[in-house]
Amino acid sequence: MKGFNFYQDKSLEWRWRLKDDNGAIVADSGEGYNDRKDCEKGAALFTTLGPNAPERKVSRDEESGHGPEWEYFEDKAGEWRWRFQAKNNKVLADGSEGYASEYNVTRAIQNVKALLREIGKQNSSGNSGGGYIPPSQGGSTGGGRFA
């Protein structure tokens, strides 16, 4: 199912995954959160900032202060990866896989942006949470909107 999925990892930190129409994971949280509400806020911030943020090619270890922005780079293994940084340089999201070319990673970023726009539009009616509505019941496995 398309949307955000929230879960606790082995360290009992809260994380999110963003899935596309086919159920494939296209992005995940850049870090673990101690509290589910903070995790949900991170997903909401990504939904709000991600669709219109600029993209920038960087070196793998380059630090930036230009956020919010999408950064993409070639890793040590020769795969192309992306991450999304907030204005404070905190990584809010990253890609769930490496890509064979620079073209493919920029195409993946465009696909995630489109998915975030779609999620934002579906849930923008009177919601102040950046186009994100938390699940109404059952957590990540219940009947909530993004479950």
Gap between the Cα atoms of 69 and 49, Å rounded: 8
Q: What's the confidence (pLDDT) of residue 134?
A: 44
Paired residues of 28 in beta bridges: 17, 94
What pTM did the predictor assign? 0.80
pLDDT tens sequence across 78-134: 999 999 998 888 899 999 899 999 999 999 999 999 999 999 888 765 443 334 444
Domain annotation for the chain: domains and CATH numbers: 3-123 (2.30.29.80)
Gap between the Cα atoms of 25 and 4, Å rounded: 9
Residue 140 has pLDDT above 90, yes or no: no
Instruction: State in Å, rounded, how far the first CA of the chain is from the last one.
Output: 8
Q: Collect all residues with Cβ–Cβ distance below 8 Å to 32 and sequence separation of at least 6.
A: 9, 11, 13, 14, 15
pLDDT tens sequence across 56-73: 999 876 666 677 999 999
Phi (first) and psi of residue 45, to 5 degrees: -65, -40
Phi (first) and psi of residue 68, to 5 degrees: -75, 135
Phi (first) and psi of residue 16, to 5 degrees: -130, 155
* Closest of 120, 139, 147, 143 to residue 131, by C-alpha: 120
